[in-house]
Structure 1
Amino acid sequence: MARKGDGFVRWTIVLGLICAVMSQQSTVSQKLYEGSQKFALNFFKKISEFVDSDPSVTTTNIIISPLSVWTLLALLTEGADGKTLRELLDVLNVDNQNDIKYNFKNLIDTINVNTSEVEISSLQLIFTDITQQRQQAFDDSIVQFYGQDLLRSLDFNSSPPARKSSYQTINGIVSNATKGQIEKAIHPSDLKDAKMLILSVLFFKGDWTLPFNRSQTVDTPFLNENDVTVGPVPMMYSKAVFPFAAFRELEAQIVELPYGSDRYLSMMVILPRKGVPLKDVIGRLANFSMQTIYQELRTAAEEYEDDEVEVYLPRFEITADYKLKAPLFDMGVKAAMSKETAQFDRMANGIFLGDIVQKARIVVNEEGTTASASTAAIFANKATPPRFFANRPFAFLIVDKRFDVILFMGQVKNPLAV
């Protein structure tokens, strides 16, 4: 059992013999991607439930990066033991910690992309207060398996000026990593009494493969789930060949809007059937196979490769700041969050997880996006193109189809609320 103290961890915003080993690593990496996908769908459901039920929440629009949270929890497993480790692995959907240790860096490196059309960049850092000693074996393992530049030491608590300087340093790193999209990832109070801060940042910017024509954007009424108009919103319009399908089990339509010329990154926009609450669709999505969605959209694109779809999508922007302790506790991360039960002695003595905070931002416009059981496809004929008219609450996923990884996800209930 770990020694207990008053310190805590905070986070703001992962020739035949050679072939066999590479194949084995590829299989394990794919299992990690699948684990992150399952985590993402469950996490989205929990966040949606908490946001919709919390009276203190000022907007029910959501933007989260489940991959960023998954990579942070994955890093924590390197320093966890006992029940704390078992709970983390269960929530991450990973069989054993070595799968993370030996594949984490490759997983992160393969996701990162930087072209003129699409950029994905991720950053993981572990900041420790200068008074808190880390275990040498932990440091050695982090450097060897996760990256040489992850470990940093800062002065969190010796004086208010020192705390302010550390706060500014951390926020400067996040601002640079997100191209200025997130300038204040943490507050000075987040460092008060903290012993360690683990940071995970994910940045995405993508140009649509088929941009919306700005001249065709017009103000259009947007309805809430009670069919009451929340106001006119700038509704973008495009008529082009998009993968599009209706999913009976979800009671929703999905259209895929690809990014860049390679088209392996996409936004999946999920529109519930009229009269179906968005939370019901998100709940079903948590038990649905993303592979089924990808396959149905691929089949639809192949069978109706010349059919155009009329897509109406509001321009929107969301900035959100979430404390994730409650939803993650609900998902099973429990022992880590109590100083009586946390076992992080492989990382440092006497620490526990005080809170996990995520700040995220997404901007969707005509040019693209900046973020910080089998069913039949239903199409009309070419004379009357099918319409995807997102004039009521919808959900969205930004996915990397190379690895079936969900980078960002969210819901829009009022496009006018940022």
Structure 2
Amino acid sequence: MRWTLVALAVLGASVRQTLAQCFTKEDRVTILGANQELHEVVDFGLELYKELEFGPATSFLAYGRNLFFSPYSIWSALILAYFGSGGNTEAELQTALGVTHKIDTLTKLRALELTYDLRRYTGSNYTFNLANRIYVDNDSSVRDCIKNILFKECREVSFKNTVKAAKDINDFVAETTQGRIPRLLQESDLRDAKMVLVNAAFFKGTWSSRFLSEDTFLAPFRTGPFLSFEEGTGTPLQDGVMVSMMNQTGVFKHGESRDLRAQLLELPYQGGAMSMFLLLPEEEGPTGFAKTAESLSSAALAKAMNSTKATVVNVQLPRFNMSVELMDELEPTLQNLGLRDMFDGDHANFTAFTSLPGLSVTKSVHKAFILVNEEGAEAAAATSLGINIRTRPKTPVKFVCDRPFIFFIYDNDTKNILFFGVLRNPAEIQGP
């Protein structure tokens, strides 16, 4: 079984189709034939990842911390803030999020919403829930056209009653994430709040070809550049954290990228619409990992993914679950990406929401959880890839994730990174 999910709360805004005049004279949304590729999310997500990895406010690499978040969730929440923004706040959001026009962006979001609804109703092989909501204080006087456009997402609450408001928000997140994130906000987070934006996402999928539990074995995860063994004993000479290493040999899409200085492997989920990709730096140790991380770009990643070939691969992947919270780190990270005005009460401009002065983002929280085990991982099936291992025997390529690696869950149809993570500290994971 394979689970991932995430939730985000910031102040902002949301979207929904209607004919009110908020963005143009006639805010019509026509989703038929709309472009649903989300390359802008990939660009935003990779820049966000590198800021979290190397930025002075976070330095996940320097501190040896695991990382897991949803670029799509954070991007979606900020898009909602974008719909309510104006002036320089709007310009900063446009630049950071890679968008240019509110109606075009609204159209794309509604088309994506329909796509995921159709997949869900037609019995897709995975579960993916995404929900946005804006909780607005009763006294905020939100513009009627915003209420109409965002009728699905807008909820009026009394932030004077922080206990009830927090319960409403946490219940919404818990329902969307099927209980994996039961509490996103504390009552204290809502003091003096006027508007809170919440985005929650949940994913569950099964590998196309599952790992067998009887093939899982204990193995050391090498946090240092090298880990040597006593000859013939399999006993590590250096101390290492032992992990449950899943293991299988099959036909997988695999490649080596000079641009990224890493090996790349695709593990599709049943149905083929979603995949997990693994990036294993070619050079061991923090320096080699940093070279791969610094090289990440949408162009380099797309080139590497398009260059993979069906190959016989022995895959060894730790069984793990991971929970990561971005609270104090998120605001300075977003500011370093150019989103400054929205956090500044003197400069934030959310006049598309309301004429109420002084509205700004005062709290941002992102929580994410992931579980990976034998049922939720695999690679491209030999049959679908047209390769017969028995009639064309090959020495398998070794893809052994016994040292820090990058992973991300990718929507193959919309070209979108839903979730992104780094496993480098085995002491902070639990084998499910």
Query: Shorter-chain TM-score: which interval?
Result: 0.7 to 0.9
Aligned to 2:411: 400
Distance 2:147 2:80 in 1: 12
Q: Deviations 1:37-66 (Å, cap 9, x if unpaired)?
A: 2111111111222499559x9861111000
Q: 1:267 to 1:183 in 2, by over 3 A?
A: same
Check conservation: 1:25, 1:103, Cα contact below 8 A.
no
SS at match of 2:150: helix
SS at match of 1:255: strand
SS at match of 1:238: strand
Match of 2:273 among 264, 280, 283: 264
SS at match of 1:291: helix
Give matches, 1:4-403, under 5 Å: 10=11, 25-27=33-35, 29-30=36-37, 33-50=38-55, 53-54=58-59, 60-112=65-117, 113-114=119-120, 115=123, 117-143=125-151, 149-157=152-160, 162-227=161-226, 229-260=239-270, 262-275=271-284, 276-286=287-297, 288-297=299-308, 300-301=309-310, 307-323=311-327, 324-348=330-354, 349-350=356-357, 351-368=359-376, 382-403=393-414
Q: What is the deviation of 1:192? A: 1.2
Q: 1:191 to 1:232 in 2, by over 3 A?
A: same
Q: Deviations 1:252-288 (Å, cap 9, x if unpaired)?
A: 001100001x212100010001335323212211364
Q: What is the deviation of 1:365? A: 0.6
Distance 1:181 1:281 in 2: 31
Distance 2:57 2:428 in 1: 15
What is the identity percentage for the equivalent residue pairs of Structure 1 and Structure 2? 28
Q: 1:22 to 1:172 in 2, by over 3 A?
A: closer
Distance 2:274 2:110 in 1: 21
Q: 1:383 to 1:142 in 2, by over 3 A?
A: closer
Q: What is the deviation of 1:135? A: 1.8
Q: Which amino acid aligns with 1:153?
A: E
Distance 1:58 1:95 in 2: 37
Q: Which amino acid aligns with 2:426?
A: P
Aligned to 1:412: 423
Whose helix proportion is higher, 1 or 2?
Answer: 1
Q: Deviations 1:146-186 (Å, cap 9, x if unpaired)?
A: xxx211112222xxxx3112211211111111111111111
Q: Which amino acid aligns with 1:273?
A: E
Distance 2:10 2:193 in 1: 6
Runs (5+) with no aligned partner, structure 2:
1-8, 16-28, 228-238, 378-391
Aligned to 1:372: none
Check conservation: 1:222, 1:231, Cα contact below 8 A.
yes
Distance 1:209 1:365 in 2: 13
Aligned to 1:4: none
Q: Deviations 1:221-243 (Å, cap 9, x if unpaired)?
A: 10114436541100000111010
Q: Which amino acid aligns with 1:200?
A: N
Check conservation: 1:59, 1:417, Cα contact below 8 A.
no
Q: What is the deviation of 1:116? A: 6.2
After TM superposition, the structure 1 stretch with the greater mean CA deviation from structure 2, 61-70 or 116-125, is 116-125
Q: What value does the CA root-mean-square deviation take over the aligned residues? A: 2.5
Q: What is the deviation of 1:336? A: 1.1
Q: Which amino acid aligns with 2:186?
A: H
Q: What is the deviation of 1:94? A: 1.1
Distance 1:356 1:25 in 2: 34
Distance 1:58 1:156 in 2: 37
